[in-house]
Amino acid sequence: MIIRSKEHMQPALRDQLLRSVLSEFLLGRPERERLRSYFENRHPILQRKKEAGLPNNCLSHGFARYITTMAGGYLLGKPVSYQCPSQQEALAPLLFAYAECDVASQDAELARMASIYGRGVELVYADDAARPRLASISPENAFVVYDAGISRKPLFGVYFSEMRSVENVPEGYCIQLCTAQHTETYRVPQLLSASYGAAQVTPHYFGGVPMIEYWNGDDEQGDFAAVLSLIDAYDRLESDRVNDKEQFVDALLVITGARLEEDERGRTPAQQLRQDKLLYLPDQEAGASYLARSMPENDVEVLRSALKSDIHKFSLVPDLTDENFAGNSSGVAMKFKLLGLDHLVRIKERWFREALRERLRRFAHFLAVQGCRLVDAESVQMVFARSLPVNDLEISQTVMNYRGFVPDEVLLTQVPFVQDADKTAARMHEHEEKKGSNKP
């Protein structure tokens, strides 16, 4: 989190403030690039060099992408739903605007960014037709600066991109500084300039800073950042394991008590052995054996399994291909197996919910300026649905056992394919009444 005092927002200090926050942000660029390289499966093992003639297998394993995919899918496997019965009419235009923006795809992308970098960044803007729109921005090029006070309210957001000519030649940078009232656009040859010159100022009508950060947690750490060293160790172990296999196949043949010569066809001993797969020794005292080191395969396998287990254990993302997840497990058993992931995603959900609430405020204010009824963003309920395998038989048995003790409207919320429990319960009661009236 980049923090500055609110009084530094004076126009006279704008150049100094912008240069200061950009300098602080750029200090973390190497770490952000490192995290992206792991997600893209470009690990340090791929840069390993060895002497010519020695096997140099470089194997990188996609643990980072697996962890990000599983954590994000568990959080947003189903789109977030918004409910507010007390202001349903006012909420309708906002939900329509959300549908036009395809917020489900935006949320999935922001969750992925937060899982990789520890935070995702979103820009709320208006298109040429004055419709509210969303854009997810790479956290490598965007950030929000917060007030140094206790509330930590956002002061402004910064987004920069490299400008290029028609010939794809760099032509400097475009920097956008988004405050609560307007957006300032600067075009400079370098990011860290002594003076940024006059800005192109464009007002917006979102009632706050239109750049929102979706944090992965209070420490702004990605889901696989804590296990990078374990991933490196796994890569080295597997790469060396394949190297050892290759060296074992290419082991030296040691011949004692004899000297082999070319045969009548002029083939060398090595050619004879490779082509005939036979070796003729002159007498019984001669011998031949391969020179190769023993491979403790069991020990290597134990270490490989331990590393893999630690990666999943400390990232809190289980290996769903493990035999522990095989078979038809009950719902309770599945919940115990996913307990760590559930705790992780609950933390992610709290921070994600806070950012979604901020997006809701921006959209509600913009639509109110256009004449729609103002939605009270604080009273809107956001429902996250977990994406889990479902045991339909177990759910049906549970619902039937509780029927008569718990209202049908409540029970139907536990049935996964029921979208509206109240309407479904009303139709059930209507159907039962018809059946009762048809009885003689």
Q: Where are the domains of the chain?
A: 2-50+101-215, 252-291, 390-440
What is the mean pLDDT of the segment spanning 385-398? 70
| Window from 49-58, 111-120, 404-413 with minimum mean pLDDT | 404-413
CA distances (Å), 204 to each of 124, 135, 201, 243, 374, in order?
Answer: 10, 16, 10, 60, 17
Q: Which candidate, 210, 187, 207, 189, places its Cα nearest to that of 198?
A: 187
Task: Give the 3-state DSSP-derived string for 58-81, with helices as H, strands as E and coil as C.
Answer: CCCCCHHHHHHHHHHHHHHCCCCE
Residue count of the chain: 440
The alpha carbon dihedral of 399, 402, 407, 413 has a sign of: negative
DSSP E strand stretches across 204-343: 211-215, 252-256, 287-291
Which of the two residues, 410 and 156, has the higher pLDDT score? Answer: 156
Q: What is the pLDDT of residues 255-285, one digit of tens each?
A: 676 766 777 777 777 776 666 666 666 666 6
Q: Which amino acid is at 165?
A: S
Three-class secondary structure of residue 434 per DSSP: helix
Give the model's pLDDT for residue 280. 62
Give the model's pLDDT for residue 432. 73
CA distances (Å), 351 to each of 67, 212, 296, in order?
Answer: 19, 12, 47
Q: Which amino acid is at 372?
A: C
Q: Specify whether the CB–CB gap between 18 and 178 falls below 8 A.
A: no
142-147 and 2-4 strand pairing: parallel
Q: Would you report the helix, strand and coil content of the chain in percent, each value rounded to 5?
A: 50, 20, 35
Cα angle 71, 77, 83; round to 5: 120
Give the model's pLDDT for residue 274. 67
Give the model's pLDDT for residue 285. 67
Residue whose tokens read 């979604």: 356
Q: Which residues contact 32 (CB under 8 A, 6 or more apart)?
A: 117, 139, 140
Residue 439 has pLDDT above 90, yes or no: no
Give the model's pLDDT for residue 404. 74
Dihedral of CA atoms 189, 192, 198, 199 in degrees, nearest 10, equals: 90
What's the rounded Cα separation, in Å, for the pair 44 and 236?
10
Which tokens sit at 167?
Answer: 């010939």
Give the model's pLDDT for residue 380. 86
Q: Which candidate, 105, 89, 91, places its Cα nearest to that of 380?
A: 91
Give the model's pLDDT for residue 195. 83
Give the model's pLDDT for residue 30. 93
What's the rounded Cα separation, in Å, for the pair 173 and 26?
14
Q: Specify whether the CB–CB gap between 60 and 42 falls below 8 A.
A: yes
DSSP code per residue over 104-159: HHHHHHHHHHHHHHSEEEEEEEE-TTS-EEEEEE-TTTEEEEEESSTT--EEEEEE
Q: What is the pLDDT of residues 178-210, one digit of tens each?
A: 998 999 999 988 888 878 888 889 999 998 999
211-215 and 119-126 strand pairing: antiparallel
Q: Which candidate, 396, 440, 389, places its Cα nearest to that of 418?
A: 396
What is the mean pLDDT of the segment spanning 91-109? 90
Look at phi and psi of residue 92 and say left if phi exceeds 0, alpha if psi is from -120 to 50, else beta: alpha
